Chain A
């Protein structure tokens, strides 16, 4: 292996593909060759570099220089000026319009555990993963640790499920380990569908081997020999990269029969979803894996005793699993140096909406919301003021600007009757109408309600009609009270978290933006609501 003095990392994600990243890659390789730099400089295709909204983003390491909006024409100047002569091409630098939050900070002041390799290694080369210490944890687990010792390490790390519920991962594993039935499964929930969330996609696209390693460790710990990754059907690139990673790991003897020459065997399969948000609910996901419609099961029994094919099953989210290799490799004590005492570790967030630097960040648990919005997100666009933040996705909570100091972890948010959810942080400035935003949230739930239980099926439908009345100036005074009654009934009576969680955005929106809702009752002249109503054929 050659050791290059510089790496040119090209983030290949959907946005970059859109902006012609393949041409940029070809041009960069050609330019590097033209200047005889091929032995010194390596051009690496990698996952997202964590910056959105800037087209093709290219990082030159170890210089730490980020270029944005790169086109094929820029390849020669980058090669000649920067790689050959050592002078970064100023006009291409990622814009630093906010003096307080330079993009270099956006990328370097994060604490990257889950995303440690995303945007750094080539996800299609298993050797690069191994070179960063990859599969060391699996080797350590299967050769030096008993399954109980692995579970104990995960328990002591305090890792909690990142899918939204925050359930302690070690306790889940230990329930499967001690289950009576010897046939068990490890299922990875990669059915990411919470609006505003794409962290799991970027992990799958940027570092699929980390997930495979984690699943094999999980399998070893709980005594399972089959792992299944359920990836949503729309995530074509994730599916392709994960399948490739499985083939490569098998060919090196890391997955399959006799992992690292031990008695432990483990295989991993990918299964695509087919378009249903509710399949992110773990029992609906299991139904879907069995070839059925994704209707949530009545709990208990829980998957740890009665999961896939009624066998004991661990179901973990992608991000949860991506923490596991480092916990095993570096130990639970190291993990507990991150985050808060009750929520150790990091959390990945997607910062979106009316914000200067939309994108993906990973910071320690307990980081204040303000840091995400004003520092890592770069604050609002010039001249705009913050109006509200929807934290946790559609099934999340609307927060007013006065809540910016809330710490983001499971417990601090629970104290405010909010949730961490999927880690989506949707920032809205004064131009956003909160009635209109809530209407979009409610339409989402109506579309995704699976129809199995009446409270959710009918409740979401009536809610959409009531908020449409607000948007078309046909609501009466009781509308807001009716909506609260409905969401409370749904919270009490729905079968699964989908219906139960609708109360959260509705109640928090009413609490934080009461005036705006009552104004809509009285005045009815909101241009955004009218646009939305027209788009849905409610107004001519």
Chain B
């Protein structure tokens, strides 16, 4: 998001005060954090806004793979490991990601730029093997394409 960052209260105000809004609100709070994770005060805010106990919010947050309670990189890389991408050679892309980033799955690069994750099917199987970098689908992966994509994000798109 460009421009002046919204306050957390302003983010919350865009959502109805109901448990139904919990996941949307958590998505927005996490997106507003440059380190891509939910902080304790985010959970407290979400709990009071949605009218849920804090424990219930923690319970939900720890269930869904898109949320993190630990700091992550500015960019989240999610490589699909489901059967179709597996068949199409996702592992050579994983080797390249590990090599280029110097981290293993679940880790963040030391400069805080990228976190590497594996994911189930992203529904972009027509261009397998596929990864998502933040909200962008990057498909037809091969080592070169992985390197170019990382370079593009390192340069700030």
Contacts and interface: CB of A to CB of B under 8 A. Distances in A.
A535 interface: yes
A353 B81 contact: no
Nearest to B91: A535
Given A272-B23, A274-B26, A291-B22, A15 B124 contact: yes
A506 interface: no
B48 interface: no
Nearest to A448: B120
Given A52-B126, A291-B20, A195 B91 contact: no
A234 B128 contact: no
Contacts of B66: 233-234, 274-275
A18 B83 contact: no
Contacts of B101: none
B138 interface: yes
B125 A294 contact: no
A326 to B, nearest CB: 25
Interface in A374-392: 390
A234 B127 contact: no
Nearest to A294: B63
Interface residues of B, number: 49
A193 B64 CA distance: 14
A197 B60 contact: no
B67 A440 contact: no
Interface in A229-286: 232-236, 271-277
A138 B2 CA distance: 41
Interface in A389-446: 390, 394, 424, 426, 428, 432, 436-437, 440-441, 443-444
A193 B123 contact: yes
Interface in B80-95: 81-84, 86-88, 91, 94-95
Q: Closest 3 CB pairs between A and B? A: A52-B126, A291-B19, A293-B63
Interface of B: 18-24, 26-27, 50, 52, 56, 59-60, 62-67, 78, 81-84, 86-88, 91, 94-95, 118-128, 132, 135-140
Interface of A: 14-15, 17-18, 52-53, 192-198, 201, 232-236, 271-277, 288-295, 350, 352-354, 358-360, 390, 394, 424, 426, 428, 432, 436-437, 440-441, 443-444, 447-448, 450, 531-532, 534-535
22 contacts: A18-B127, A194-B121, A195-B82, A195-B121, A196-B84, A197-B123, A201-B123, A233-B64, A276-B63, A276-B64, A291-B50, A291-B52, A292-B56, A293-B59, A294-B63, A295-B63, A353-B88, A360-B126, A390-B83, A424-B125, A444-B81, A444-B82
